[in-house]
Amino acid sequence: MAKTRTSRSPLLPAILPGSWKGESVGAASVNFGQELQPGPPRQSIEFTYAIMPVRLTGPGSSFAWPGILAIFVPNPLKPDRPDAGTLSSNGALPALHLTLDVTRVQFSDMLPFLDAERLKEFHFTVEDRRDDGHWPLRSWGMGTRAPEAPQDSPPNG
C-alpha cells in the first residue's frame, strides 16, 4: 500500500511587540529612478531605496526569520507616516518584510556603508499590530565598525 503524504506547515513563532534584532545576510542593492506623474500639474518624482536580505529575531526568541529590509527615502507623493517604519508578513511565506523610513540625509549618510557592506547588525522596536495587519516601528538603529586594518605579513627570509 502506498504511503499517503500529508503536508505539514511549520509552526512559526508569533510576531510580538518589543525589541528585535536584525543581521544582514547579503549585499544591498541601491536603486534610483525618476517617474513623471500626470497632473495637473505634471510632476517629476524621484525615488531612492535600498533592498537587503536579512535575518530577523524577535524578543525572547532564538528563531531567526528570513526577511527583506527595504530602506525608503520619502518623496512628495508619499504620505507622511508617524512611524519609524513597519514590519509585515504575507502569511503565506515564513518570511518578514521590514521597511525603514529614513530622511534623504540619513540615506546619503548610509550609502558609503551600504556600498562597503559595513551595515551588518541593527535593532528595531515593534509596537502592537495595527488593523491593517502591519506592525509599526517605534524606533530603529544601526551601527558600523571601522574596517579591520590589514595584517602585516612577515618578511620572507
14-43 residue pLDDT tens: 899 999 999 999 999 999 998 888 878 888
Q: Quote the pLDDT of residue 155.
A: 63
Looking at the predicted structure, is the pLDDT value of residue 100 above 90? yes
pTM over 0.95: no
155 CB-near residues (< 8 Å, 6+ apart): none
Res. 5 pLDDT band, cuts 50 70 90:
very low
Please classify residue 64 by burial: count the beta carbons closer than 10 Å to its beta carbon, then call 0-12 exposed, 13-18 middle and 19+ buried: middle
